[in-house]
Amino acid sequence: MTEKEKQQAGELYNGNDRQLTAERIAAKKLCAEYNAIPYNDFQKKDRLLDRLIALRGEKTWIEANFFCDYGYNIVMGNNFYANHNLVILDCAEVVFGDNVFIGPNCGFYTAGHPEDFVTRNQGLEYAKPIKVGSNVWIGGNVCVMPGVTIGDNTVIGAGSVVTSDIPSGVVAAGNPCKVIRPVKEGEAPAPSAPAESVEEKAEQPVEKKTVQIKKREIRIEEIKK
């Protein structure tokens, strides 16, 4: 297997592999170009995102600055909005549903490193996919860790570190992020730190959803022009 095949299979791989390094360079050049586009040049931003992101729906908007590792592992549904300084380390798939709103300074990190320093120092790492459902609101300064699934209709409070799956239809916050209460119907709850007086809702298993996508790989030759 190539290092890229190991990466996509969730196995340990060498992140310094020549192919993977070249693809990261290509993606980061596109990110730099995107971040330098004048704010009101909407068509140019759209064209560049089409070159960078594997698949995206209608009404996709990402505020500068935006950074990712490869781009071809990212899928965004309709009506996606991300505020400034979105970071997606897409060594594995990162899939967003429809109507996802993300606050500033948020990170989605599929990349992980072995706890054993001998293995880690060899440059080996692994990646686990992240999935975010539809109608999800993520507050500012949230970190989503490898392998996490966030269910539909859920709010993640600002400053949270999401280390495990979060079910649908809840407000969750904290480090580590935990369920606070169900989302109130007919109300748009603001993300906040958990209050001591609020009883935590028992977490329900999250239904894992597999999204089949046709990935668009970055054409490195095109970037070099």
The catalytic residue positions are 113
106-113 LR contacts (CB < 8 Å, sep 24+): 106/82, 106/138, 106/140, 106/141, 106/142, 106/143, 106/144, 107/142, 107/143, 107/144, 108/132, 108/144, 109/143, 109/144, 109/145, 109/146, 110/73, 110/146, 110/147, 111/15, 111/69, 111/146, 112/146
